[in-house]
A and B are shown apart, each in its own frame.
Chain A
Amino acid sequence: MIKISDVTKKYGDKKALDKVSFEVGNGEIFAFIGHNGAGKTTLIKAIVGIHDFDEGEILINGKSITKEPVACKKEMAYVPDNPELYENMRAIQFINFICDMYEVDLIRREKNIKKYAEMFEITANLNDTIDSFSHGMKQKVALIAALAHDPKIVIMDEPFVGLDPKAVFDMKELMREMTKAGKTIFFSTHILDVAEKLCTKVAIIKKGKIVKVGSMKEIKGDKSLEKVFLELEK
């Protein structure tokens, strides 16, 4: 579970996040939407402990990300919007490195890597260096590395960008499967159709402020999510 309370982040005088508050429960797929520069990535980086924030609190399964960052990070996985991985490493080295950092035992990591590599059809490329990969391939490596340690919470920034249609389909199925097992999925996206069909809850951010948050039904009513979003943006 993620609990965000009155989080404010300033860059100089400008508030990138202004008293942002909402909760993401266990077993939920939560979409976080907003236009470019609205504060989506800033909040995601604050949740995963990359950026600090000036006010408020973020709790990950009851633990504060500022007070117990290591314990919080152990429960989470983060997939960045732009997969800037270690280009000199082979894909398998990178995934193994991330598993080492999360102290995943060998049996579990072997099983998970095999499962996700086959799912994303990347098994044949695991021995290649990351600098030879396309954006989509890097995204797949980042996803496998993130999922290989069986995280309870998965935070993803634009996870579908660069993925091929089959990978997008498999990813959506996997997200549903994970939430059935009680895991939490929180992701930002600009693909509103996907968010509408996939997510149980949604939050819309505008200029650093949450303008709407709730279940998908509550937010969109009879309209499409796209229409609701565009009306809010006016």
Chain B
Amino acid sequence: MSKFFSLLKASMSEGMNVFRVYGKKQSKLVRISLPIVLAIIIMVSVAGYADMMMEPLAEVGMEFVVLTLYIIMAALFILVEGIYKASGLLFNCRDDDLMLSLPVKKSTVLTIRVLKFYLFEVMINAIVFIPAMVVYAMRVGVGPSFYLVSLTALLILPILPIVIASLVGGIIAFSSAQFKHKNIAQIILTTLLLLVLLFVSINIKDILQTLAQNAKSVNEIITKLYYPAGQYIHLVLDFKFVDYLIFILTNVGLFTLMLLTLGSVYYKINSRVKIVKTDTALRSYTLKYNRPLMALFKKEIGRFVSSPVFLINAGFGLVLYVVVVILVCVNMDGTLDMFSKMGAEIPVEAIINYMPACLFGLIFFTSMMTSITSSMISLEGKSFNILKSLPTNPVTIIMAKVLAAVAVMIPILLVGDIVMFVRFDFDIWQILMIVCSSIIMPLVSEVVGIVINLKYPKMNAQDDTEVVKQSMSSMVAVFVGFGSSIMMIYIIYNTFNNGLSASGTVGAGLLFGVAALVLLLIYLWRRGIKDFNSINV
């Protein structure tokens, strides 16, 4: 048993270094306190939203709906994250050779990997679910059974999303391994799945309504949609020890079933995923001369498209941008109706009159949330030394990364712009400013990304998922992107309310973008190069 826990501890410690900045000494206090402080900030924000939602629900005596919503929110988050994580934590693991050479059973190795996966997801569940529990307990008088059931639920509710995520992750890994170009297959399969999930999320209200027509109560709807959540709500409202036991046994049973089923096929999938199909026949090759900047640019593009997780993570926002633009153009009323389904109330006339500013906001949001460069230094990993040994100035290397990232973004943004120009009335100045924004904003976002990544590199990641989804740099980039987007949307909303013209708003936004870009480039020139040189792999 001690061997099992030693392995689990070693395995967990590998994934717990999200906040450790590579090559920089951090005190134990900082390493421990940073994630705790961050978790507390998120939990307080989540609790604030839960409290806001509690008000109207209390009037109709349905406070428990808050718990339901937060359970579903956590489950969806775990599901989407889990599909990404399954590829790195369960399949195609880099420590296969080490783990499988140790004198432990194969089933033990699998159990440790599943447990690691499970414990990470329990942490995510806790961050979302505990605030809702606390708010519910403060608002509604609860007995000891609530705490017992809720703490049990904290451990049990991630099981079903994990089972589904593992299953889907396994299917994606196995199916894509059948193809020669398995990365492309993986990208297509994952994108399709995420689009389905998005469609379900947007139409959740309709789905619930359809379910409601066939169900007698809200609890029955929940039970149909997500059985463990229904069990939990049932126990919160009416605790019975037998039901509590059933709650535990069904979910633990599900987990055991998953382990047994996965155990029988896991190593077959895993070995197939690792097969690299090569062309054994001798083929001629052609050599082409490129200038250093172009060679580096091509290398970055090649790296980007060869990594499914990197491509999907960065590309999904851009695909959504195009989808939103096309939806707005093709079916304006329907799109606004879709937004109102998601809780936003937008007057149609105002939107049309203020379209240039809205499009600018959308470009800004898409650019800032698509930080490709925030992973690009970390993804070099140990091969970073190749770059440092090349006879090239670090500025060229950094700029090649920024240019590769914007080369992915700008054409997509411009396609969206053209569609909007055709559909709505933009004057020539507005067209010029929007086109400039579609060039400047991605540059701003990607320079911000590279500055962050140079500050917080993670050069020893086990796989791309760890860099793209779980590194300090990618998290900081998301926070910066989200924060600045919220600020920009707030500013646009206020200028609209204060009667500033759409052109004036776009012009001011563009000027802000240019100023930010100049300042960032000066910073990158002065500090970024030093940061680049100080990364020792």
Contacts and interface: CB of A to CB of B under 8 A. Distances in A.
A194 interface: no
A113 interface: yes
B13 interface: no
A125 to B, nearest CB: 8
A101 B295 contact: yes
Contacts of A98: 390
B11 interface: no
A103 B290 CA distance: 8
Interface string A78-90: 1010101110110
A97 B298 CA distance: 9
Given A86-B299, A101-B292, A128-B279, A52 B390 contact: no
A134 B383 CA distance: 16
B295 A51 contact: no
B391 A70 contact: yes
B283 interface: yes
A202 B220 CA distance: 81
Given A96-B287, A100-B290, A84 B295 contact: no
Contacts of A129: 276, 278
B287 A123 contact: no
A113 B287 CA distance: 10
Contact of B279 (A71, A109, A113, A127): A127
B495 interface: no
B302 A84 contact: no
Nearest to A79: B389
A156 B285 CA distance: 28
A45 B299 CA distance: 23
B393 interface: yes
A85 B389 contact: no
B389 A73 contact: yes
B181 to A, nearest CB: 11
Given A52-B533, A84-B381, A127-B279, A101 B307 contact: no
Contacts of A198: none
B9 interface: no
B536 interface: yes
B268 interface: no
A232 interface: no
B278 A86 contact: no
A53 B298 CA distance: 32
Contacts of B526: none
Contacts of B283: 127
Given A86-B299, A88-B303, A100-B295, A49 B388 contact: yes
B535 to A, nearest CB: 10
A204 B300 CA distance: 40
Interface in B266-320: 276, 278-280, 282-283, 285, 287-292, 294-296, 298-299, 302-303, 306-307
Interface string A35-59: 0000000000100111110000000
A101 to B, nearest CB: 5
B391 A73 contact: yes
B393 A70 contact: yes
Interface string A121-142: 0011111110110000000000
Contacts of A99: 287
Contacts of A132: 276, 278
B536 A51 contact: yes
Contacts of A21: none
Interface string A97-122: 11111110110011001000000000
B385 interface: yes
Given A78-B389, A127-B285, A97 B295 contact: yes
B224 to A, nearest CB: 44
B382 A84 contact: yes
A11 to B, nearest CB: 9
B528 to A, nearest CB: 16
A98 B295 CA distance: 9
Q: Which of A50, A101, A109 has the most CB of B within 10 A?
A: A101
Interface string B383-420: 10110111111000000000000000000000000000
10 contacts: A50-B385, A50-B389, A70-B392, A84-B383, A86-B303, A97-B295, A100-B289, A101-B292, A101-B390, A103-B291
Given A12-B25, A129-B276, 16 more contacts: A50-B389, A71-B391, A73-B389, A84-B382, A84-B386, A86-B302, A89-B302, A97-B298, A100-B291, A100-B295, A101-B292, A101-B295, A102-B391, A113-B287, A124-B282, A127-B285
In the A-B complex, the 4 residue pairs with the closest CB atoms? A100-B295, A88-B306, A84-B382, A73-B391
